Amino acid sequence: MADTDMPGPLAGRDGVRVQRVCSTLLITIDRPRTRNTLTAAVAAGLATALAALEADTGLRAGVLTGAKGNFSAGTDLEVPPTGASPTLPGRGFAALAEARAGRTKPLIAAVEGLALGGGLELALACDLIVAADDATFGPPETGSGPYAAGGGAIGPPRRGPRHLAPEFPPTGGPVGGAAARRLGLADRVTGPGEAVAVAIGIAEWLARGAPLAPSEVRKLVRAADDLPRA
């Protein structure tokens, strides 16, 4: 599978690295020293990458992941309280939380290692989640400003079965990839180090269908998400 770095301002912008892999845009949060924590600069970089995905007719889907073995450990708590938040007006937390309705192309989270707090919310804002079986999902910021304000605590019950949802976030305890699949948080579980390759495989499988099929399926899934649940 050939892959190329995107030219110009998308290459390594604001801690976000972007590559074209066939008809898939691979978006990588590239702050490995902080386990890919999220900042205002990262949110801006993600917004730019998602705009490129939407604008390029040769791209059919996106895969979102983190560099060097972690998806994202959440909001960068080292940023001073007076610093810019990783929330963009009209797009929400990390440019994704409130932007799902405006996207037309599927976005798949490929989760290796940690997806904690805001990182969990970021994964839940994607359309599908592929998780390595040694991944860790958890809301360590439960009750604190960044996580509670971001709305992440309502994500797991929305994705997962209602009778299992109470297990995840009130306990605050992390769950692994296999447990996330049982809870309905992850859609596919892979071996360690395989999540990105499997996610790209799914994206390319979607690309082989009719040109409008992925966006139409996405609309149906979004409509189902918005239906009231008993």
What are the catalytic residues?
121, 141
Q: Where do the DSSP E strands lie in 67-141?
A: 87-88, 92-93, 107-111, 114-116, 128-132, 136-138
| Angle, helix 213-225 to helix 195-207, in steps of 10 degrees | 110
- What are 105's two structure tokens? 């192309």
Q: What is the CA radius of gyration of the chain?
A: 16
Work out the angle at residue 158's Cα, subtended by the Cα atoms of residues 155 and 160, and round it to the nearest 5 degrees: 100
- What are 42's two structure tokens? 């990262």
H-type helices in 75-194, by residue range? 118-124, 145-150, 155-159, 177-183
Let me know: does 147 contact 97? Beta carbons within 8 Å: no
The two counts, helices (H) then strands (E), for the chain are 7, 12
Report, in this order, helix, strand and coil percent for the chain, each rounded to 5. 35, 20, 45
- What are 133's two structure tokens? 């079986």
